[in-house]
Structure 1
Amino acid sequence: MPKQKSKLTTVNAEETLVWTGVSSNQTKAQKEFNDALRKHKEVLDHSKEIEPLFQMVNETYLKEVLPEIEKQKKLERKRFEVMCSILLEEKLSFGKMQREFLRRYLLDICTDSILEDPSFYSQFRDQLETKLERMDRLRSKIQMESKIKQKFGFEIDLDDLNRTQFDSEEERSSHEEKYREFREKYEEYRSDYFKGSRSKSSSKKSKAQMEKEKKILESERLLSTDINTLFKNLAKLIHPDKEQDPILRERKSKLMTKLSGARDNMNIAEILEIKMQVDELLPNQQTDVSFHDTSIKRFVGIIKSKIRELEDSIRQRFFSHPLMADFPEKKITKETLTTYLTRVKKDNVMVTLAYEKEVEQLTKEPKYIKEMIKELQSLGVQF
């Protein structure tokens, strides 16, 4: 007895899109299709559930963590200023190695932080640098500025170019305008350089790579054929020009717009979701969509690809947030997130308190700086 033909349709109140028919009559590809579409729906639902959790992270960051970080920056600068004062004003006697270690340590802080506030850190850099170090730094700067002039035809001051702190938005805008033409030429050069690098690498493709690309292109061509077939079947049903009922015409028009966009983007998952909406809108005129297993497998591949994109998008949005760098859990839930954020807030308060304690001790007892030097050396800090 021949197998009954399975077809794509919608079933039950949940509007789950599946291949219907007795399970034993479904092919392996049809079962994989059902599983992939269910997974796609689960990930879509998960992305909606994630939104309030992301808002919780952002609110914690803006209202509680960021203010602590700002306090820490101010305390770190104060700590640096007090340490420089102890060294440069000779408030304490140091051994030769201790003095040199401290000088280099503070000079490194200057180098790392000078772009944040040039006017503050440059004054200390000038006092901490040796004559030889200053000459080397200025020589390197002049050489780089000369190369830029030769390459791009612009005379620029690198210290000014890399400045990030401004007293007003007007000053920032003026600075951007001053170097706008140079930055545009530099970005154009970078773009051409990397384009050339890609061209060289593409010219060295192996036979296996070329065959793989050929198969991918063929698969995309076949997938395009399948999607166009489904698109045409649906478009016949929902073309608004053929509809007399004004309410139905408006709904069909919206579906047609969505369908055209999904076809243009080759988004089979979205087309199938539109198919589900069409079947609900026109229950007596459902399309009988049937494909060979090879077509169904291509659908499964594109749906799985959309699932990966959704999952990557969720991860990227969450874990690109500065507060989520150390989140230990694979699955994000309200409970795990609340525990994590509580620990982050507590840790930040402790860091602030540690800075406050160091600033207070350095101010009251300058000799405490020697304990700090020992601790830094024990941690392997070298110059």
Structure 2
Amino acid sequence: MPKQKSKPNATAEESLIWTGVSSNQTKAQKEFNDALRKHKETLERSKEIEPLFRLVNETYLNEVLPELEKQKKLEKERFAIMCSILLEEKLSFGKMQREFLRRYLLEMCNDSMMEDTNFYGPLRDQLETKFEKMERLRYKNQMEARIKNTFGIDIDLDDMNRTGFDSEEERESHEEKYREFREKYEEYRSEYFRGRDSNSNHRKKSKTQSQKEKKQLEAEKLLSTDINTLFKNLAKLIHPDKEQDPILRERKSKLMTKLSSARDTMNIAEILEIKLQVDELLPNEQTNVSFHDTSIKRFVGIIKSKIRELEDSIRQRFFSHPLMADFSEKKISKESLDKYLKRVKLDNQMVTKAYEKEVNQLTLEPKYIKEMIKELQSLGVQF
């Protein structure tokens, strides 16, 4: 693209420029082109991540989840054996040992109650002291009474919060039973936060905040002018009425619809994305638009913002997966992911074996529970 001419008497900073490969690019133009390349690379990276995400999900479903289910089953089995040793007095304990074990098991019971109320409920009743049971029921009754007064609905908190069900039909029946309360509660929360936001908006704005908003409005006005220019140039290139090729005409028509919608809402980022698509569709017909350096710098800011959004969406999707909590690599690659997943699988197999060992030892030799108590105390576990 030939070098753009400067306006008469214009300073170097005000030179009119746009994209191109001129050796006389300004700093702003170089930053713009660099941002475009980074944006394209990030888009490509988001596509490359997809098969890696499928690998993570398949590993989780086919190899890790079965191990976790084994561990959960073994954990319940171990818990039941430990309760049996304590409650059926199969072993002699010192007073402090007995109390430590009782409170440890009760803590585990309370933490796991919602997973399987039918399993943990009866054991909690046996592990609790009379005073602990009275306090738990008193608090529960207080909360249920407060809910009754606020929403006019009778509920059972122990039943409402459970997550373990024997069938999908039972789950659906449970959800239906408490649907009215959940809907009213969500309305209540929405009203509460809406009220807080309203109060916050009525607070007097600081001088700094007012100046910031004023600058933002001025920047938006300048961008509006630039975007109108870009819109007109793009519209000339992709107007479908002038296209003879039916396939190209259809693609231009879709782009024109998107462009018009983006222009109506002044969606600057969308218009810039459409510009990239137009340049790809029509590589020999560049959008011949000229802007001041200051305008291009604003475009650079928008493109960088889109890049951050893309990178955030990649990270959020990838690292929100339960299997990726400990993945520390900054750059995800097939090699680093394979190595990480192999370690995760081995770690889970080791945990399963450790549970199996403890269950076997507790079954064959109940006094092993005293070694477990000593180990827990050495780790600083207190109640």
The answer to whether the 8 Å contact 1:84/1:106 transfers is: yes
Letter in 1 for 2:155: I
Amino acid at match of 1:178: K
Distance 1:287 1:318 in 2: 36
* Deviation at residue 343 of structure 1 after TM alignment: 0.7
2:114 counterpart letter in structure 1: L
Deviation for aligned residue 1:227: 2.3
| 1:251 corresponding residue in structure 2 | 251
- Answer yes or no: is the 8 Å Cα contact 1:238–1:278 preserved in 2: no
**Other structure's SS at 2:382 match:** coil
Matches within 5 A, 1:266-285: 266-267=268-269, 268-280=271-283, 283=284
Normalised TM-score (structure 1): 0.90
Stretches of structure 1 that go unaligned for 5 or more consecutive residues are 8-17
**Residue 124 (structure 2) pairs with residue 125 (structure 1):** yes
The amino acid of 2:273's aligned partner reads E
Task: Structure 2 unaligned segments of length 5 or more: list them.
Answer: 7-17
Alignment of 1:229-378 (within 5 A): 229-243=229-243, 245-263=245-263, 264=265, 265-267=267-269, 268-280=271-283, 283=284, 286-378=286-378
User: Are residue 102 (structure 1) and residue 104 (structure 2) matched?
Assistant: no
- CA displacement at 1:262 relative to structure 2: 4.6
> What SS class does the counterpart of residue 19 from structure 1 fall into?
coil
User: Structure 1: how far apart are the matches of 2:76 and 2:63?
Assistant: 21
Aligned twin of 2:222? 222
Shift of 1:230: 1.1
Aligned partner of 2:11 in structure 1 is none
The Cα shift of 1:51 comes to 1.4
Query: 2:10 aligns to what?
Result: none
SS in 2 for 1:167: coil
CA distance 1:270–1:262, change in 2 (3 Å): farther
Q: Note if contact 1:5-1:21 (Cα within 8 Å) is conserved in structure 2.
A: no
Contact 1:145 1:158 in 2 (8 A): yes
Aligned pairs for 1:147-186 (under 5 A) are: 147-186=146-185
Moved more, 185-194 or 198-207: 198-207
Partners of 1:133 and 1:31 lie apart in 2 by: 70
Structure 1 pair 75/255, CA: closer, same or farther in 2 (3 Å)?
same
- Opposite residue 339 of structure 2, the aligned amino acid is T
Q: Any conservation in 2 of the 1:33–1:300 contact (CA below 8 Å)? A: yes
Does the residue aligned with 1:93 lie in a helix, a strand or coil? coil
Please list every run of at least 4 consecutive aligned residues from structure 1 whose deviation after the TM superposition is greater than 6 angstroms: none
Q: Equivalents in 2 of 1:272, 1:6: separation in Å?
A: 23
Using the alignment, how far apart are the partners of 1:147 and 1:79 within structure 2? Answer: 38
Deviations 1:214-235 (A, max 9, x none): 3234323432332232122211
In structure 2, C-alpha distance between the alignment counterparts of 1:247 and 1:356, rounded to whole Å: 64
8 Å contact from structure 1 (residues 262, 271) kept in 2: no
Instruction: Determine the C-alpha separation between the residues in 2 that align with 1:251 and 1:6.
Output: 34
How far does the alpha carbon of each residue in 1:238-283 deviate from its partner, in whole angstroms, 9 at most, with x for none?
A: 2223445534432321221343355444324312213303533xx4
**In the alignment, is residue 142 of structure 1 matched against residue 145 of structure 2?**
no
Distance 1:40 1:153 in 2: 54
CA RMSD of aligned residues (A): 2.0
More displaced, 262-271 or 68-77? 262-271
Per-residue Cα deviation, 1:121-171 (whole angstroms, up to 9, x for no partner): 000000000000000000000000000111111111111111212222222
Which amino acid in structure 2 is aligned with residue 251 of structure 1? Answer: R
Judge conservation of contact 1:6–1:21 (CA < 8 Å) in 2: no
Number of residue pairs the alignment of both structures matches? 367
CA contact (8 A) 1:6 1:26 kept: no
Which deviations, in whole Å up to 9, do the C-alpha atoms of 1:362-381 show, x marking residues without a partner? 01110000000011011111
**CA gap 1:336/1:21 in 2 versus in 1, 3 angstroms:** closer
Work out the CA distance in 1 between the residues paired with 2:58 and 2:261.
Answer: 35
Aligned sequence identity (%):
76
- Give SS of 1:323's match: helix
In the other structure, the counterpart of 1:15 is: none
Displacement of 1:208: 1.1
Provide the rounded CA distance (Å) in 2 between the counterparts of 1:156 and 1:6. Answer: 76
195-204 vs 134-143, greater mean Cα deviation: 195-204
Q: 1:171 to 1:289 in 2, by over 3 A?
A: same
CA positional deviation for 1:188? 1.1
